[in-house]
A and B are shown apart, each in its own frame.
Chain A
Amino acid sequence: LAKTTQPISMDSYEGQEVNITCSHNNIATNDYITWYQQFPSQGPRFIIQGYKTKVTNEVASLFIPADRKSSTLSLPRVSLSDTAVYYCLVGDKGFQAGTALIFGKGTTLSVSS
């Protein structure tokens, strides 16, 4: 499974756009890029997933360049409630017996007023 690298922490203010970049230089052809969000004392929850170009949902956007060696999670106009840890994962979208998604240390986003 491809290893990912992302910043340990980021700070922002309410109302700003936040971009968290993740590097995954050895991403495989079949791999998708997935982001999870975790609040304190809760389990992570799925935010967004993509394969290439841009994906947008009601929570975030995911930008993936043509070479797919990195990806950027974009959170528009963050609020205090967006303070959380964000994990970038890379893996096969399809089920394969004996495989598992590997979570790293994530990026701790702190939003201030």
Chain B
Amino acid sequence: DVKVTQSSRYLVKRTGEKVFLECVQDMDHENMFWYRQDPGLGLRLIYFSYDVKMKEKGDIPEGYSVSREKKERFSLILESASTNQTSMYLCASRLSTGEQYFGPGTRLTVT
């Protein structure tokens, strides 16, 4: 089975802190994605990567950056966390067939 793991299920950070969310997949997928999910807004794409060191902005990249140094790992970085970045963050990886596999999510609270 494909496995997508995220470094933390729950995270609490203070305003202004630099936050790293890590995602690892074990199926050699080229494509990886970061979404955030908020009540009433569905899943919104933050960034995605279709190869090592390659990245593309999604719908809401402001306040975020990403890193893909190795194929299996895709990191989401909040340079200076703010309270409006409190959310559920979901990582996914994708086969070329289009089916995406999601991780369990990280619920981030910024106080």
Are B97 and A93 in contact (CB-based, < 8 A)?
Answer: yes
Flag whether A45 is at the interface (Cβ < 8 A).
yes
- Residue numbers in B under 8 Å from A41 (CB-CB): 105, 107
Query: In this assembly, does B100 line the interface, its C-beta being within 8 Å of a C-beta of chain A?
Result: yes
* Contacts between chains A and B (CB distance < 8 A), count: 68
With contact pairs A42-B104, A103-B35, A105-B40 given, residues A97 and B96 touching in the complex (Cβ less than 8 Å): no
Distance between A67 CB and nearest chain B CB, rounded to angstroms: 21
Mark interface residues in A93-105 (1 if CB within 8 Å of B CB, else 0).
1110110111111
B104: which A residues are within 8 A, CB to CB? 42-43
Are A98 and B56 in touch, CB under 8 angstroms? yes
Beyond the given A43-B104, A94-B98, could you list 14 further A-B residue pairs with CB under 8 A, ordered by the A residue number?
A34-B98, A42-B105, A46-B99, A46-B101, A87-B42, A93-B97, A95-B30, A97-B50, A97-B51, A100-B31, A102-B59, A103-B35, A103-B44, A104-B42
